[in-house]
Structure 1
Amino acid sequence: MHIESNPSILYFGTPVVLISTKNENGTDNLAPMSSIFWLGWRCVIGLAAASKTTHNLMRNRECVLNLPSVNEVKAVNRMAKTTGSNPVPDGKIAKGYRYEEDKFGIAGLHELPSISVTPPRVAECPVQLEAVVEAVHGLAEGDINQRGRIVTFELRITKVHLEESILTDGHPNRVDPDKWRPLIMSFQQFYGLGQQVHYSTLAEIPEHLYNSPDRERAMDITS
């Protein structure tokens, strides 16, 4: 039996992402988030307009999307209620956030140089996606009470780095979903994936049929 319900949040489960960006002074910022979805070699992310990551993306138009596995959950949790914005925005003060300049340091994570963008990669994350901003859009622009508070970014992936341990044997361009265990955020709690529950007919489609012009462009630029 279903009942009408009004949850304060609708986070039914999405991957956790650590976004690395460059600050104005050349230092590196790192922020966890999970408002993201992919289409081909592009993705859309949603961020608070007042966040440091948003300001950095608006200015530099570059980032790295680092996807942690379940093994990195403690590192993610150490930076969960921190911000690179100083002073801390009022909305985050109410939620108990504090300012931290060295996000990598407090998380116990390490930087790796990127190839196509200036922000660094997170060495410990099995998936590292270098990306550039292609478009910026507001959210809830028709609502005077929400207008200007949330920003969505369309990102184009320019380089993909994958830990060999999550790849399909003999296929350097294919992730094995039985080996890849992303960290999932569901209603503010951390989870991992379980075992496959059923055969998928979509798996009958060869992966190369999903190739996109963005993938070919990235391979041409960085090869």
Structure 2
Amino acid sequence: MFYEPEKGHGLPHDPFKAIVAPRPIGWISTIGPDGAVNLAPYSFFNAISSNPHLVLFSSEGAKDSATFAEESGEFVVNLASRDLAEKMNASSVDAPRGVSEFAFAGLTEAPSRLVAPPRVAECHAALECRVTEVRRPQGLDGRPAGVIVVTGEVVGVHIDEKVLRDGLFDAVAAGNLARLGYRDYASVTEVFEMTRPLWKD
């Protein structure tokens, strides 16, 4: 089949997010100007640079995570993993401002080293970030897309040593969680290696 998004797809549900998958989950913790802590998962998230280490997440609307990150200039990306999937999902609740998603999901706040927002103590890894850019993209028609894209540089990295194998981060041991389409998720249970080809070979 072929379809143009503006004209509709005729399927029971939009397949876009299922096609662009799996996507890593940005489990973002932030802190507001009044000291309120927010924790929420974002499926529009990824790393975009290795030098410097840059990550971004996109918020559909001015939700607390994007607002707090823009106001404070800081956020933490907590690794969503299979053993924490249900708690990660619980933290997506549409709780009113001032309600702690950490407490609601039964998670522990742990102090960060270089930024103010706490990290999730139970996570196998966390990235402390400082905001480098906030953008509000637009569509082809020039109208705002209604999303806020927050980019940050990773200034500190936490790793649970239990998921290190011979000095390498083991995504299977950590059970890295990814977002698919619809209500579906996937966790890393198998990895395989391929060497990038060189033209001279």
Tell me the TM-score normalised to structure 2 length: 0.82
Percent identity of equivalent pairs = 25
Distance 1:18 1:199 in 2: 27
Q: Determine the structure 1 residue equivalent to 2:199.
A: none
Aligned length, in residue pairs: 182
1:165 to 162, 167, 175: 162
Q: Deviations over 1:131-167 (max 9, x none)?
A: 011011111255355x161011221000000111111
Q: Determine the structure 2 residue equivalent to 1:58.
A: 70
Distance 1:84 1:61 in 2: 22
- Structure 2: give runs of 5+ residues left out of the alignment: 4-8, 197-201
Q: Deviations over 1:112-135 (max 9, x none)?
A: 101110000100111110001101
Note if 1:30 corresponds to 2:28.
Answer: no
Q: What is the Cα-based RMSD across aligned positions, in Å? A: 2.1
- Structural mapping, 1:112-123, within 5 Å: 112-123=110-121
Equivalent residue letter for 2:161: E
Distance 1:9 1:84 in 2: 30
Equivalent residue letter for 1:186: L
Q: Determine the structure 1 residue equivalent to 2:6.
A: none
1:70·1:181 contact (CA, 8 Å) conserved in 2?
Answer: yes
Specify the SS of the correspondent of 2:173: coil
Q: Determine the structure 2 residue equivalent to 1:70.
A: 82
Distance 1:69 1:36 in 2: 15
- Which segments of structure 1 move beyond 4 Å, counting only runs of 4 or more? none
Distance 1:17 1:108 in 2: 19
Q: Deviations over 1:56-90 (max 9, x none)?
A: 011101000001210001111222232454xxxxx
Q: Determine the structure 2 residue equivalent to 1:175.
A: 169
- Structural mapping, 1:51-200, within 5 Å: 51-85=63-97, 101-140=99-138, 142-143=140-141, 145=143, 147=144, 149-169=146-166, 171=167, 174-187=168-181, 188-196=183-191, 198-200=192-194
